[in-house]
Amino acid sequence: MTPFHKINLRMIALLVMPALLIAESGAVVARVDEEPSETVRYQDLNLDSQEGIAELYLRIHAAAVDVCKPVDGPQLGNRVSWIEWNICINHAVARAVHAVHNEKLSAYHWERIRGWKLR
């Protein structure tokens, strides 16, 4: 092979490798996007009452804890895992509260995350 052919092969390899990596990472992203979820039923609750709102919030929080469980079990020994677990739960609860579209539930959630007491 002449030096010209070696350069061309190297150039082709340099151009093809990123394309392969992008295609491979796209396949990984497709699997990562499939977030776990859990359905929380609340037809039996009266969302006009404070008790109904509190019960729904407890159900949402319990579902968030289930969804955010680590795949390898409850190994929250290090601080990073603990922080990531809390962030996961907080985001899952916030998304669920938002999805319900109930002002009283949103206010209840706001009071919980800000540490205010109910009156």
Q: Where are the domains of the chain?
A: 1-34, 37-119
Q: What is the pLDDT of residue 77?
A: 62
Other Cβ atoms within 10 Å of 30 Cβ, number: 9
Q: Are 63 and 40 in contact (CB under 8 A)?
A: yes
Supply the pTM of this predicted model: 0.64
Note the pLDDT tens digit of each residue in 44-102: 999 999 999 999 999 999 999 999 887 665 555 666 678 888 899 999 999 999 999 99
